[in-house]
Amino acid sequence: MSEKTKTSEECSRRQFFTHISITLGSLAALMVGIPIVGSVLAPIVNKPKPIWRPVGELRSFTLDEYVKVNFVDASPLPWAGITAETAAWVRRSKNDELTVFSVNCAHLGCPVRWVSGAKLFMCPCHGGVYYSDGTVAAGPPPRGLYSYPVRIKDGQVEIKTSPIPITTVL
Ligand code: FES
């Protein structure tokens, strides 16, 4: 075998391994990259839309008193089961005006409780306290309770639920 033929063979073998390396490297990059890109884009592409959820007949809500209502979150996963349920506090005032606050504390999301005698919402986790209009009275919450848009349709109170985290502002 001449020196020239040997060099040519080495060159083609080197090219062959270079192509294999590039191909395998590209496949590995795709296998790693596709799930990463998918997980980044999924919340944007599959953004759940807010949904109007009926929570009870208007007349069933006591005047000037907060009543807790349960409903399914706007973005339940198929396997979420009971954890897809969330809640809100609804108050009907004169002239059928409705106020709806998320049950989740604006600090770290613990469920707040309406204490009727004190006219305050209390958070059991870190002592957050809110006035009846949802503004902060004491404790660590950086803002007031989140509110939900609400409407009355065919005598039913409906809440426009949003995926958690709730982005509606007071
Ligand atoms: S979660 Fe409510 S005060 Fe911290």
Structural domains counted in the chain: 2
- Residue range(s) defining the domain that contains residue 19: 1-47
Give me the CATH number covering residue 126: 2.102.10.10
The yes-or-no verdict on residue 168 having pLDDT over 50 is no
Q: Which pTM does this prediction carry?
A: 0.71
Pair (90, 145) in one structural domain: yes
Pair (149, 74) in one structural domain: yes
* Between 41 and 109, the higher pLDDT residue: 109
Pair (66, 42) in one structural domain: no
Q: What is the pLDDT of residue 161?
A: 86
Pair (68, 134) in one structural domain: yes
Pair (67, 141) in one structural domain: yes
pLDDT tens, residue by residue, 125-154: 999 999 999 999 999 999 999 999 999 999
Ligand 1 nearest-atom number relative to CA 124: 2
pLDDT tens, residue by residue, 43-101: 677 777 788 999 999 999 989 999 999 998 877 777 888 888 889 999 999 888 999 99
Could you tell me which residues are beta bridge partners of residue 69? 88
Beta strand segments in the chain, E = 51-57, 66-72, 85-93, 97-102, 113-115, 120-122, 129-131, 136-138, 150-153, 156-161
Pair (60, 36) in one structural domain: no
Q: Measured in angstroms, how far is the CA atom of residue 142 from the centroid of ligand 1?
A: 10
Mutating to test ligand 1, I would choose from 126, 143, 146 the residue with most ligand atoms within 8 A of its C-beta, which is: 126
Pair (117, 149) in one structural domain: yes
Mutating to test ligand 1, I would choose from 103, 113, 125 the residue with most ligand atoms within 8 A of its C-beta, which is: 125
Q: Is the CB of 123 under 6 A from ligand 1?
A: yes
Q: What is the pLDDT of residue 169?
A: 43
Pair (56, 3) in one structural domain: no
Q: Is the CB of 125 under 6 A from ligand 1?
A: yes
Q: Which two tokens stand for residue 22?
A: 């590039």
